[in-house]
Structure 1
């Protein structure tokens, strides 16, 4: 009975620029994506896997810079005993002929690009059945050829594809959706998928590996890859963390008189050094009194510089303001008049939501500044 152990990964998005991120973190995020190649290789060696299957989107665009391409191939070629099997995805489709021609010209012998939908024997009696994307929007299910693909009796069959198994939008084009039961209809021992950036089990033989290094707040936690063992039975699949950065998007539900410092601290790692590799978005909601809201903002500002990135979002946080709160800003004069005006504007139901939020944020800021002067 044939058997194989391999690493399943996808969506490396090498060369992603992170243009919307602050300068303080952008270059580190770019470098972390390149470093993921070595971390994947480390996982493969640690688990005695000799193959890495990359299910699309190795590069973030169809025109990565030469240094991104050359350095990626150098990193993959560092261990000649480890073979990388790569298909084009939607970000780096086969339509980018110049890219893939250069990759094939420069690639070391252990990096194999699969641009044709045909069986490839990657080990004795182990066949890879790839579904490379010829264009960014193929308009059809590219795995539809696999059920009819002949392989020797008793051989292991592994599908490698990039795309959706369901549509998340009513008006989306559904022609390119991969059937969720494709592994069963094609007699696959395993279907390795890419495109979804979070690890996801579709069925016992169908998995999304997720990206090895997160690039957005949609999926919490560090990136990972999958170590897969096939020996004729059900796949044995292990998730192994590979990401350098820990992305966290959390809700902070608040009520008046809450201990905002304690609540905030539950999402702040005690290890100050670790925070450098944490990107944290906190979405505060509920209601706080003005002093408590000021305390929350001050607490966030106090720890912000220790994080790779900290965003404290308070747009959905309502503020209760009592007469004594404005007294803490000023008991009279122009400053108090400004505070009274901002409070009136923040509570004006006839005003637009945007104008009310601007007034509320200005009042928060005014209160915080007044406390700094005390």
Structure 2
């Protein structure tokens, strides 16, 4: 009898796409669904980037070099230097999105059965990459009570074993929006140097820091061989579909190893590199404008959430996500109910249950991640749907005033 692999059985469904069939069914019923479940911004991809592809004089779409076009890597190196990351083209491997950069890091640095330490909650896809690489995730739990700040460094120390090989951090963080301070990063760097671990730093959201200075792992000194920055243009330029990222390290042996994995897939997308290279033409004010827009959305979301009885959420310092505690029995059930059984003025909202962002069993059951990727008008309507849903959800865990129920 034919069977799929054990790896296939272990591969999790995407926490932010798992409920898509229920959203599509709601749309078929004529219900408008506000998508706060996934980090797909409605910010326009810069027209100069799109025009570069549309106007490209290409007669044969050839393979690009395995490491990416030299012209793009030069401009990417210039970009990194402008944000204080002192690297050259030889330190950059262009990847098919940040996802491939993460996969190359795991495959290049860890052996099957090795351990990867990650503060949780963490980006849900890390679990899938760990399954694919046959790596064990060792979580260190952060708390919503202190805004998901880095847990005490002693908690990381306790989890180090002979199989520990790397520590993975996302800053600004997806899903929490927390921005790690220089002091926190220095503690992690010292830990990695002391125990001979790699430090993987996922910095997909570096442009979007609101209340704290952005600090890259590559701003730290004395650990060049330990540090790998994992990057992508997806969020930076609202170009998620381009699938262009970067694997960045000064560790020459590691860069050569990752290059061999890159040769396995031949080359990164050629047209997408043309699009990404055109980003160098953007004005210096581009990020000021997009950052201000996200800041307005963040403030609206936090204000609305904190006004809802029983809802708790910290103020995220970066990225474009909020993690919130909801007064419900189970957010997996609640998020599905929103799509299957609820609508307000023929609209509903799609959220991501937070259980998919934890490796520790049963954590996150009363939490959701919400992405403030809609304009403020649509975001406000989506939050009104959530507010109304919390009043009538059968599994709510707080008393709702009768007047509010009568109003519905």
Normalising by structure 2, report the TM-score.
0.28
Larger radius of gyration: 1
Normalising by structure 1, report the TM-score.
0.30
Q: Which has the higher helix share?
A: 2
Q: Which has the higher strand share?
A: 1
**Greater relative contact order structure (CA < 8 Å, 6+ sep):** 2
